[in-house]
Structure 1
């Protein structure tokens, strides 16, 4: 039975004055996430319309791989404990890619 990949779309609105701190912390999270066994990609984007809005696009081989990511120490310490308090808004959507 084939597993279904999971993609994550996250929109983070960073509090004024904290963008550089968030980007530094996110760079650390990124470097550890791309080494995870089930990670397919981890892309960071910045909105052209609002410099304080970041869009993350992540791919995992399965839902269990994505869950392993959010349970990883580097996610809990880097994102939940350090980055989330620096955000005004945080929206996360899990999606299943559709075949053409």
Structure 2
């Protein structure tokens, strides 16, 4: 497992009429996620041209911390249990920085 910081870029596309519900979930999820031991930051961005597009920028101390986040009760209940049904699409890309 990778022991260097992991940065996740996730794009969520809310279904029409669901953006307010998605943002409500994210407000609570952000608080819980930022409390995780391995979380470095949790930032939420909204598209300027398309308000239904949300970009999450998350940092974790290592791969184990990202795995713990995804296994957490709050992720499972809020993202998997609630948010996914309100989304047209959800894509996450875990990354490591390149030294170039």
Question: Is TM-score (shorter-chain normalized) higher than 0.5?
Answer: yes
Q: Where do 5+ consecutive residues of structure 1 fail to align?
A: none
Aligned to 2:97: 97
Q: Say what the alpha-carbon RMSD is for the aligned residues.
A: 1.2
Aligned to 1:50: 50
- What is the TM-score of this pair, normalised by structure 2? 0.95
| Residues 2-33 of structure 1 deviation map (CA, whole Å, 9 limit, x = unaligned) | 93100000000000111111101111110000
Q: How far, CA to CA, are the matches of 2:43 and 2:52 in structure 1?
A: 16
Aligned to 1:59: 59
Aligned to 2:31: 31
Q: Please report how far the alpha carbon of residue 74 of structure 1 lies from its aligned counterpart in structure 2 after TM superposition.
A: 0.1
| Residues 25-79 of structure 1 deviation map (CA, whole Å, 9 limit, x = unaligned) | 1111100000000000000000112110000000000000000000000000000
Q: Which runs of 4+ in 1 moved over 2 A?
A: none
Q: How far, CA to CA, are the matches of 1:61 and 1:51 in structure 2?
A: 30
Q: How far, CA to CA, are the matches of 1:10 and 1:28 in structure 2?
A: 17
Give the SS at the match of 1:22.
Answer: helix
